[in-house]
Chains A and B, each alone.
Chain A
Amino acid sequence: MNMIVCVKQIPDPETPATAFRVDEANKNVVAAQGIAPVISPYDAQAVEAALRIRDAQGEGKITIISIGAAGARDVIKHALAMGADEGVLIDDPALQNNADPFVTAQVLTAAIQKLGEYDLIICGRAAADWDYGIAPSGIAEMLGIPCVTVARKVEAKNGTVSVDKVLPDGFETVEVQRPAVVTISNELGDPRYPQLRQIMAAARKQVQNWTLADLGLSADQLNRRITIERLYIPAKQSNVEIIEGDTVEAQAANLARRLREAKLI
């Protein structure tokens, strides 16, 4: 069973609001000082989903793909330390700061085709930077294979994959033929954390470096379909009234009175 997991390095989503900055002229987010970028959390869960399948099956090869600059090797190494087998980094100047998920889908698909053997492609439900959730469906469409999005559980069966898909008030189990694409949501649960021994072992695992040319693509063939016209941090103006009182009971009474006056209770 060959599994391919697509991961992305992003600015830490836990970056405090005070350190989060946007470069409005270049329409991108400025890396926060002293806060290291991380593997997109849903992508770590996608790696975890692949590892759980390999644990259940007793066999399977897991290849990690990422598009990014040299620094993105760190997230591939993280996935390898979690237990994945091999990695591919697609690093090309034409892809620097790419924020078009249609380009991402095109490049990842070309890389998956170059790898050639795949039974299951697993991605996070969206990268937690641009929050699109578009590329995985695109990979499925371009490869002409089924796709189940937003899963909380994935199990490999004989020739199929059984996926519990998260719904607003529950879930549904969908069974699709392999090969297939599945995207993972946070309901899957926490990804395993690599131990020191695994981190050392990951250092010896192979990570290939590919450029667009290795994928038979050139910069002018990229499928740019979205233009970012503007990027900004929404303005917040606080008009909060802090409810005071000598005792907690007095504060509660003052709040209740305000809410009653506003006909809210």
Chain B
Amino acid sequence: MAEGILVIGEIAEGQLAQVSGELIGAARQIADAQGGLVNVALFGEGAEGLAQEAIALGADLVYTEDNAALSEYLPERWLTAAQTAVDFADPAVIIASTTPAGRDLATRLAFRLNTGLAQDVIEFEVQGDKVLWTRPCYGGAARAVVSVNTSPVIATIRAKTQESPEADASRSGDTIPLGVELGGDEREKLVNKQIEEKEGIQLEEAAVVVSGGRGLGGPEGFQPLEELAGVLGAAVGASRAVCDLGWYPPSQQVGLTGKTVSPDLYIAVAISGASQHMSGMAGSKTVVAINKDPESNMVKTARYAIIGDFKQVLPALTQEIKRLKG
């Protein structure tokens, strides 16, 4: 009988992706409750070398396909490799991340395995041999708790919603190279990949994020916001509305369809707080709202708020923080 968990791991810039560590932590919890092993599948160049890292984080068995042809995500190849890993591991539950690769793969794998999928999970609870998966829906305005009726159960879990386990170098586990036949039927090819140069402080890693919304009135509204970010050593984020309007680059979008951030301090400037945006910053530890509207959702969500015009508040705050930091 199928038992245990299979985590679809990912490699990011030659390392085991942060989110994969978080998924191994989640898998460990499910396996400890339901029994069975924590299996991890790892595809792409360098997979074998990273297997030990997955074991240190809680994996029992790591299935690798250390093959440069799998370093970039292309669905058919990855599906072939993932299906091979499923055949070996025969898991009760498969979990993947909600990265572009994780989500695309898991969704197609569900149809290939004739089973169901809980998409975009932020919380889960093991209830006997069932898992209840909580996911946002209606743009984050509601939460649905879903279960999957078929086997194996597949779920995609959002980054930064699970604790990454402490690495324990003394843990032992096995690494099994899969030896996948990738086949010749390639109807898809990657022609070009363009990743923006990362400059300045990265949104996802920043301890402080200053974000702007539609209330800024135009791209020029970001100037006093960037000055505040400058004195705070903060990354700058934006709501989807302003990215769609072309006021700020889409790579800085925070929200359901943008990036998920969890800084210590999130300063939301002229953002009303649509569910779509809140979904991306709900993990922030302290939220400050600067907004004209005391009734706005962002003000109600915040720990501290200044009700006023950002054009006056931001320069005053920037000056004050400069003075404090001396």
Q: Which residues of A contact B (CB under 8 A)?
A: 11, 13, 15, 17, 20, 22, 27, 29, 101-102, 105, 125, 128-134, 137-138, 140-142, 145-150, 162, 165-177, 185-187, 224-234, 236, 238-243, 248-249, 251-253, 255-256, 258-260, 262, 264-265
Contacts of A137 in B (CB 8 A): 104, 107-108, 111
Q: Check if B111 sits within 8 Å of A229, measured CB to CB.
A: no
B256 located at the interface, meaning its Cβ lies under 8 Å from any Cβ of chain A in the complex: yes
Among candidates B147, B150, B256, B312, residue contacting A248 with C-beta atoms closer than 8 Å: B312
What's the A-B contact tally at a CB cutoff of 8 Å? 228
Contacts of B110 in A (CB 8 A): 102, 134, 138, 225
Q: Check if B188 sits within 8 Å of A251, measured CB to CB.
A: no
Q: Check if B313 sits within 8 Å of A131, measured CB to CB.
A: no
Complex CA–CA separation, A92 to B276 (angstroms): 32
CB-CB nearest 8 A-B residue pairs? A225-B116, A141-B111, A252-B316, A230-B145, A172-B193, A170-B195, A137-B107, A177-B187
Among candidates B76, B119, B251, residue contacting A168 with C-beta atoms closer than 8 Å: B251
Complex CA–CA separation, A249 to B314 (angstroms): 10
Contacts of A142 in B (CB 8 A): 111
Contacts of B305 in A (CB 8 A): 240-243
Among candidates B144, B208, B294, B317, residue contacting A256 with C-beta atoms closer than 8 Å: B317
Shortest Cβ distance from residue B309 to the other chain A in the assembled complex, whole angstroms: 8
| Docked complex: B147-192 residues within 8 A CB-CB of A | 147-150, 187-192
Q: Check if A226 sits within 8 Å of B149, measured CB to CB.
A: yes
Q: Check if B313 sits within 8 Å of A251, measured CB to CB.
A: yes
Interface size on B, residues (CB 8 A): 83
Among candidates B72, B196, B300, residue contacting A240 with C-beta atoms closer than 8 Å: B300
Contacts of B135 in A (CB 8 A): 131
Q: Check if A29 sits within 8 Å of B138, measured CB to CB.
A: yes
21 CB contacts below 8 A, A to B, read A29-B142, A129-B137, A130-B144, A134-B119, A146-B75, A170-B195, A170-B196, A173-B192, A225-B117, A231-B144, A231-B145, A239-B303, A240-B299, A240-B304, A242-B294, A248-B313, A252-B320, A256-B317, A256-B321, A260-B324, A265-B324
Also in contact, A149 and B187, with CB within 8 A (given A169-B251, A240-B303):
no
B50 located at the interface, meaning its Cβ lies under 8 Å from any Cβ of chain A in the complex: no
Contacts of A13 in B (CB 8 A): 138-139, 276
Q: Which residues of B contact A (CB under 8 A)?
A: 72, 74-76, 99-100, 103-104, 107-108, 110-112, 115-120, 132, 135-139, 141-150, 187-196, 198, 208, 232, 240, 244, 250-251, 256-257, 259, 264-265, 275-276, 286, 288-289, 294, 297, 299-308, 312-313, 316-317, 319-321, 324-325
Complex CA–CA separation, A37 to B218 (angstroms): 30
Q: Check if B304 sits within 8 Å of A255, measured CB to CB.
A: yes
Complex CA–CA separation, A256 to B190 (angstroms): 49
Contacts of B146 in A (CB 8 A): 226-229
Also in contact, A174 and B190, with CB within 8 A (given A185-B257, A231-B142, A259-B288):
yes
Shortest Cβ distance from residue B231 to the other chain A in the assembled complex, whole angstroms: 9
> DSSP class of B's interface residues: helix, strand, loop or mixed?
mixed
Q: Check if B117 sits within 8 Å of A134, measured CB to CB.
A: yes
Contacts of A132 in B (CB 8 A): 119-120
Q: Which residue of A lies closest to B287 (CB)?
A: A240
Contacts of A225 in B (CB 8 A): 110, 115-117, 148-150
Also in contact, A149 and B104, with CB within 8 A (given A239-B303, A240-B303):
yes
Complex CA–CA separation, A229 to B134 (angstroms): 10
Contacts of A131 in B (CB 8 A): 119-120, 135-139, 256
Q: Check if B306 sits within 8 Å of A252, measured CB to CB.
A: yes
Q: Which residue of A lies closest to B234 (CB)?
A: A265
Also in contact, A186 and B244, with CB within 8 A (given A137-B107, A172-B194):
yes
Shortest Cβ distance from residue A222 to the other chain B in the assembled complex, whole angstroms: 12
Contacts of B189 in A (CB 8 A): 174-176
Q: Check if A172 sits within 8 Å of B192, measured CB to CB.
A: yes
Contacts of A186 in B (CB 8 A): 240, 244, 257
Also in contact, A138 and B111, with CB within 8 A (given A20-B138, A173-B192):
yes
Shortest Cβ distance from residue A262 to the other chain B in the assembled complex, whole angstroms: 7
